Chains A and B, each alone.
Chain A
Amino acid sequence: MSKAKKAEIRIAGFGGQGVVLAGVILGRAAVLYDKKKAVQTQSYGAEARGGGARSEVIISEDSIDYPKVMRPDILVAMSEQALDKYLKDLKPGGVLLIDSELVKNLPPEQRFTLYKFPFSRIANDEFGRTIVANVIMLGVLTGLTRLVSFEAMKSSIKTSVPKGTEEMNLKALKKGMDLAKVP
């Protein structure tokens, strides 16, 4: 639906970082709590951890015919390989969000808006759990882009994360939102 307002997001990293779940949380927030349309797809290797992993989300005001992301408006790179592999697809003028702890070699190009935060270090230092890096990232993404509302994101996290980890994940989301306020 080229006419409707639509955003395409690609989140990429390696298996075990929760990039697939991050996409699911985002899509669920849009559909169930912001009453938008969304589709989430993914690709990953046979490995449970360590191989490349990719999650894609399209959020739209209107129904979505083509479910695959080809030229993302937003690219989240949670690993060096992910950036190398997918930067070429990012739309000119798009948003590039990286985990600066894991992605050191930045390209010289300036055809996009770059935001960098050490998601995995913050997750480790402040939460003692590297695994919440994906939710901190979602907090930053929400704060920067307002693709979905903060309230929708909170509700989606509550229904998407393992039982008993809701509080920690909501704190991680809040942390990300706060980070986004200070560029």
Chain B
Amino acid sequence: MSKEILTGVYFMQGDIACAEGALAAGCKFFGGYPITPASEIAERMAERLPEVSGVYIQMEDELASIAAVVGSSWTGAKSMTATSGPGISLMQENIGYAVATETPCVLINVQRGGPSTGIPSIHLQGDIIQARRGSHGEYEMIALAPSSSQEMFDFTIDAFNLAEKYRTPVFILSDAFVGHMREEVIIPEPERIYRVPRKLPDSGTCGGKFRGFLDEDVAPMPIFGHGFKTHVTGSCHNDFGQRNVIDAEALDYYIKRLNSKISKHAHEIISVSQDVDGKEVALISYGSCYRAAREALNILEDEGIRQVGSFRLLTVWPFPRNQIQELARKVKSIIVLENNLGQITPYVEAAAGGQAEVIFLPPRVLGTLHDPATIVDKVKEVIR
């Protein structure tokens, strides 16, 4: 059996499934600092990476962790870190650096109750906007939101593939509930796992003439130790990596190119699952809230109420604006389920543009899964 891919059926915690997904995707470097509720990922990677000739380093803090992840990615390794909100907050500067230098890496955020140290073992979807806009400046982010142990495995593989394909950091926005929950996980045969290899320049490519940055269709990455003369900088630069910190035109080009690398391909990146044709009401959810949405739909169906459907964001970022615009033309009402005080709801309202009524519904107690009965009640109130 391949040591990277432990083909089989397991009863596995979400965090462990995430680590196994990373290894299956070809991850060879983990730099991190343990934190509840993400520690199990670090623990598993510490145990497993040496078995696959990978490297695990427990750094002195999260600032160093993300720096090590960026550095190892520039040596050619598929790299990751796993932390929770407090750790992500500390990593923000170098997350921006990873975006600016077009460094593929995967950032796992197993969200917990915040702000600040909050409550470590209670889940909150509190860092959704932070993932999108936590670092300074103008940039795009890709983020996936798993809702089960199996998806912790599958989505982590997807995250590595997206990171390599678009040469950019990718977030997994999990939470303490999904991270700590145990369920059946099926790890497929190695030949059924798709891995995106890193696009590298041809060897012997002349450094000075080599466009290694700012290509909307993703430039090949001139990684260290392969003879490419290049310059990697978080300052404004051109296609060749040459700095320009004088001209606004250079900044305009730099920002727009970095952003359009993602936005131009948004239709390929965005993933939603929906069952809303002919429905009157849509339940929008992502991550753990999806589980409550499904159960509410089961109860409604049992009661003969069939004019309600699910619209789930598998990727939260880039935001599925067009898809929600279309949804708003189909349904009368949209109920947005979030375990927070309404982080994507303003985005949904903007996309809906008044075409459908948008109602935000948090769980009665923040930090818990929605009671399906409260969703059912809200739906009944809306269709009355």
Contact = CB atoms under 8 A, between A and B. Distances in A.
Contacts of A174: none
B302 A24 contact: no
B302 A2 contact: yes
Interface size class of A (residues with CB under 8 A): 20 to 34
A41 B175 CA distance: 13
B182 A40 contact: yes
Given A2-B302, A37-B184, A39-B183, A66 B9 contact: no
Interface string B112-124: 0000000011000
A28 B11 contact: yes
Contacts of A168: none
Contact of B11 (A3, A24, A46): A24
A49 to B, nearest CB: 16
A66 B184 contact: no
B314 to A, nearest CB: 16
Interface in B180-231: 180-184
B9 A32 contact: yes
Secondary structure at the A interface, as helix, strand, loop or mixed, is: mixed
Contact of A46 (B9, B120, B184): B120
Nearest to B9: A32
Contacts of A46: 120-121
Interface residue range, chain B = 20 to 34
Contacts of B294: 65-66
Name B's interface SS: mixed
B29 interface: no
A65 B298 CA distance: 9
A153 interface: no
A3 B299 CA distance: 10
A39 B298 contact: no
A38 B310 CA distance: 23
**Residue among A38, A42, A67 having the largest count of chain B Cβ atoms under 10 Å:** A67
A119 B221 CA distance: 62
B369 A38 contact: no
A110 to B, nearest CB: 27
Contact of A32 (B10, B121, B302): B10
Contacts of A68: 368-369
A156 B369 CA distance: 29
Contacts of A41: 177, 180-182
A114 interface: no
A44 interface: yes
A2 B296 CA distance: 11
B275 interface: no
Nearest to A37: B184
A43 B242 CA distance: 52
A160 to B, nearest CB: 9
Nearest to B185: A31
Interface in A50-91: 64-68, 70
A1 interface: yes
A13 interface: no
B243 interface: no
Contacts of B371: 70
A68 B180 CA distance: 12
Given A28-B11, A32-B11, A66-B291, A2 B298 contact: yes
A27 interface: yes
A43 B112 CA distance: 13
A66 to B, nearest CB: 4
Contacts of B31: none
Given A66-B295, A66-B369, A70-B371, A39 B302 contact: no
Nearest to A1: B298
A43 B36 CA distance: 13
Contacts of A37: 184
Interface of A: 1-3, 24, 27-28, 31-32, 37-44, 46, 64-68, 70
14 contacts: A1-B298, A2-B298, A27-B11, A27-B182, A31-B11, A31-B183, A31-B184, A38-B183, A40-B181, A40-B183, A67-B183, A67-B369, A68-B368, A68-B369
Q: Which 5 A-B pairs have the closest CB atoms?
A: A66-B295, A65-B294, A28-B11, A40-B182, A31-B11
